[in-house]
Amino acid sequence: MDQTHPPRARRGGKQASPAGAADSGTHSVTGSAAAGAAHSAEDRFDDEDYPAYSMGMAAEMLGVTPTFLRALGAAHLIEPKRSSGGHRRYSRYQLRLAARARELVDQGTPVEAACRIIILEDQLAEALRINAEYERERTAGN
């Protein structure tokens, strides 16, 4: 499998479709803020993928610089959505990935390697989730 970052499972069993997966093979969360307008406020509170945080707020929350967040985008770990004005917007899920990247970088891991480690961790977690689901279905069928 050549894909660097798989679609991840979302609540309710839906799959997040990686934007540009056929082109670049990366899991990226891109789009416009207008796409989120169809969601109710309650849905946004529960949606880990809703781009609620500006770059400045995300950087402040994580204790990193905006340059670090851009580097994670360049390494294809996270690709923020864009507001109608073109500003980067980050989701809670993306902030968790960025926090994990910061942990690894703080331990001396280069940014590119940290991003690859996180992608592999995410792929493993997804494979384990799929295997557990398959096992539940298999045992329920017996």
**pLDDT tens string 93-126:** 999 999 999 999 999 999 999 999 999 999 999 9
- DSSP element (H, E) containing 134: helix 111-140
| Averaged pLDDT, 45-69 | 93
Using DSSP, state whether 53 is helix, strand or coil. strand
Q: Are the C-beta atoms of residues 101 and 114 closer than 8 Å to each other?
A: yes
Tens of pLDDT, residues 13-55: 333 333 333 333 344 433 444 444 556 777 777 888 899 999 9
Paired residues of 9 in beta bridges: 15
Helices (H), 63-110: 66-74, 92-106
User: Is CATH 1.10.3720.10 what the domain over 25-140 is classified as, yes or no?
Assistant: no
Q: Which amino acid, residue 136? A: R
* pLDDT for residue 41: 72
Paired residues of 89 in beta bridges: 54, 81
Residue bearing tokens 């994990």: 100
Domain ranges of the chain: 25-140
- What are the angstrom distances between the C-alpha of 47 and each of 11, 39, 41, 92, 133? 8, 9, 10, 8, 22
Handedness of CA 55, 30, 3, 126 (dihedral sign): positive
pTM of this prediction exceeds 0.85:
no
* pLDDT for residue 13: 37
* pLDDT for residue 81: 95
* pLDDT for residue 63: 97
